[in-house]
Chain A
Amino acid sequence: MRDISFGQYYPVKSFIHSLDARIKILVTFLFMLSVFFIVSYTMFVFMYLAVTIIIAVSHVPYKIVLKSIKGILFLLIFTAIINIFFTSSGNVLVPIKLGKIDMSITDQGINFAIKMALRFTLLVIGSSILTFTTTPTELTDALEYLLKPLSYIKIPVHDLAIIMSIALRFIPGLIEETDKIMMAQKARGADIDSSNFFKKIKAMLPVLIPLFVSAFRKADELADALDARCYNASSKRTKMKVFKVRKSDIFAFLGVVAFVVIIFLDKYLVTSLAGAPDLGGFKIEGLDILIYNFFKLAV
């Protein structure tokens, strides 16, 4: 339990860590949107290269970033399988028919599945770079700032930000508490480490009940503490750390925007200029067409 590293802030100093959190959130958002517009393998190679360099600059070890992919491995494999079996366009490689349903494996299906997996992985890596390099406090402050326009349509943005930061702040405490209660029940012979799934579920009850009791007690105490200090979410507050956009932030922002522009050029301009070759349902797009044409000429 103690070694949960998925998306946890990684405390080192780096260029990425020092960037303005608002810019980082914007940039990550842009990046995640643009990932869905990547169509060619060439661009995937570029993107993975860029991400690799960004991770190197952020001083977060690759091992830890890769660990965060482990968490979605199941999802990745699941979507890949769905894509392989339920894409009917393209050239059939292995014909499979279950009654009326066509489950043939096609080259286009495999193509889709691979691209989808590549996109998912990029998404997860991108978002975990954000959480690895930004403290939860910075993150909520930045989100509050970015969502401020919503307060004009009477959405309580500050309250939401406080709820979020309290929730984030409680996670490590709850993990620690779970750890303690688990140990206490283990000391009483509970089968928590058992490999039997049903036994394990049954053994969780003596952990979950005390955990809920303590979570409610802590929430109560926190509410009292906030009240005792006359906390009032609606009044105007100042921040201890004021965000400031510096040259490096603009530089990082422009860098990502340039990448986004290239992705869009690749998807729309290059494809339409080069003209997709007819391969019987198997689609290649963007820079891949140029490479394909180049090899065709060479051969």
Chain B
Amino acid sequence: MPIVIKNLSFTYSKGTPYEKKALDDINLTINEGDFLGIIGHTGSGKSTFIQHINGLIKPQEGEIEIFDIKLTSQKRPKVNLKELRSQVGMVFQYPEYQLFADTVEKDVAFGPKNLGLSNEEIKERVKEAIEMVGLDYEKVKDRAPFELSGGQKRRVAIAGIIAMRPKMLILDEPTAGLDPYGKEQILNLIRHLKEHCSPTIVVISHDIDEITRFANRIVVFNDSHIVYDEPMQELFKHSRQLQAIGLDIPRAVKIANALRYKGINISNNIVTAEDLLKNIVELYNKKHNTNIDAQKAAFDMYDFSHKWIAKDNKEGDDCQNINESSDKHIEESQEDKIDDNKKDNKDEIIVNQQKQKRDKR
């Protein structure tokens, strides 16, 4: 069963001078198996929107249908919100701030306990959830959640949601406030959860580079409306419009656009760094009649970034060796082009700054 949202509108503090429209006539269908990314400014309505899906806010206008449960503005029939919340798991921003119990085990058990499950079932689910988020159950279960590290706390909080075995998972800024290594781990965890826990995932993120790494469909909120709802490959054809409403676009797209502007024939459905690399290698092959394996190059780059992060985490930033070991051809061809592009950007920035100074005078 997909999730269908029809004509949803919501206004905060209706009828007072603090009145603020958060959602205006939202229509959206989320299919089972979707890996949906939601982007938008702070205050664009995206948080209000996901709170609706979990039944935390009652719709003022319009209706929502989630796994046969219907939410409307009417009081009756009464909705079984517990049922809904066991099916739709919601991980809030900074979820570690909701931890309260004296041991990790008790905290993770809070959700399943509220569902009224038997003790054995709860225990089994708690163990499964803690292991699912990549923590050692035996080591961690009796520790106080407040003495864990930031990343671990976040995992425990996510485990608390997973223990309810939701069919769908919503995450609000899951990587906010983490270091690059912690971010990488949470992103991998989300991917893992999609395969092993809940098939439908919705993620809100500010970091466009991050969201493009896993989402297959992106919804853009602006000013309490949905402005774009497209597969990821299509969305960045509207780069200009996205930038006009003040949203960032992935670095790979920026580079591709700049190269295209320079007259290089780059394909226009590039989203990730891998896509870009593959495309550049293909172009390089064509021009110089070489036969470098694009797939392998992409893989190397991926491997490189992983090694870099791992190494960074162990020894601080010393990535000189890895740099040398990677494929020279690709490095050179890429660097040349990017360097050109950077120079251009720099020139532009300097010109802009000078202009601004002049304007001030």
Contact = CB atoms under 8 A, between A and B. Distances in A.
Contact of A188 (B12, B111, B146): B111
Interface string B134-147: 00000000000010
Contact of B97 (A3, A12, A181, A189): A181
Interface stretch (A24-32, A122-130, A146-154, A203-211): A203-211
B56 A181 contact: no
Interface string A249-266: 000000000000000000
A184 B86 contact: no
B45 interface: no
A94 interface: no
B265 interface: no
Q: Contact size class for A?
A: 20 to 34
Interface in B10-32: 12-13, 16-17
Interface in A171-223: 180-181, 183-191, 193, 205-206, 209-210, 213-214
A187 B56 contact: yes
B64 interface: no
A3 B85 contact: no
A64 B16 CA distance: 9
Nearest to A10: B17
A2 interface: yes
A213 B146 contact: yes
Contact of A206 (B16, B100, B146): B100
Nearest to B98: A184
Nearest to B57: A183
A189 B146 contact: no
A184 B114 contact: no
Contact of A189 (B16, B51, B115): B115
A187 B92 contact: yes
Interface centre among B13, B17, B115, B164 (most CB of A within 10 A): B17
B114 A2 contact: no
B95 A184 contact: yes
Contacts of A5: 16
Interface in B143-172: 146, 160-161, 164
Interface string B81-110: 110011001101001011111000000001
A275 interface: no
Contacts of A183: 51, 56, 92
Interface centre among B97, B101, B111, B115 (most CB of A within 10 A): B97
A210 B114 contact: no
A156 interface: no
A277 interface: no
A190 B114 contact: yes
Interface string B23-56: 0000000000000000000000000000100101
A11 interface: yes
B85 A186 contact: yes
Contacts of B12: 2
A191 B82 CA distance: 9
Nearest to A206: B100
Nearest to B14: A3
A232 to B, nearest CB: 32
A187 B13 contact: no
Contacts of A187: 54, 56, 85, 89-90, 92, 161
B161 A188 contact: yes
Contact of A185 (B16, B98, B146): B98
Interface string B60-86: 000000000000000000000110011
A188 B86 CA distance: 8
Interface centre among B17, B100, B114 (most CB of A within 10 A): B100
B102 to A, nearest CB: 10
Contacts of B56: 183, 186-187
B17 A184 contact: no
A49 B105 CA distance: 62
Contact of B98 (A10, A64, A181, A191): A181
B100 A180 contact: no
Contacts of A184: 90, 92, 95, 97-98
A194 to B, nearest CB: 11
A2 B85 CA distance: 22
Nearest to B83: A189
Contacts of A191: 114
B114 A189 contact: yes
A251 B188 CA distance: 69
6 contacts: A2-B12, A184-B97, A189-B115, A206-B101, A210-B98, A213-B146
Interface of B: 12-13, 16-17, 51, 54, 56, 81-82, 85-86, 89-90, 92, 95, 97-101, 110-111, 114-115, 146, 160-161, 164
User: What 10 pairs between A and B have smallest CB-CB spacing?
Assistant: A189-B114, A209-B100, A184-B98, A187-B90, A188-B111, A206-B100, A184-B92, A183-B56, A210-B100, A189-B82
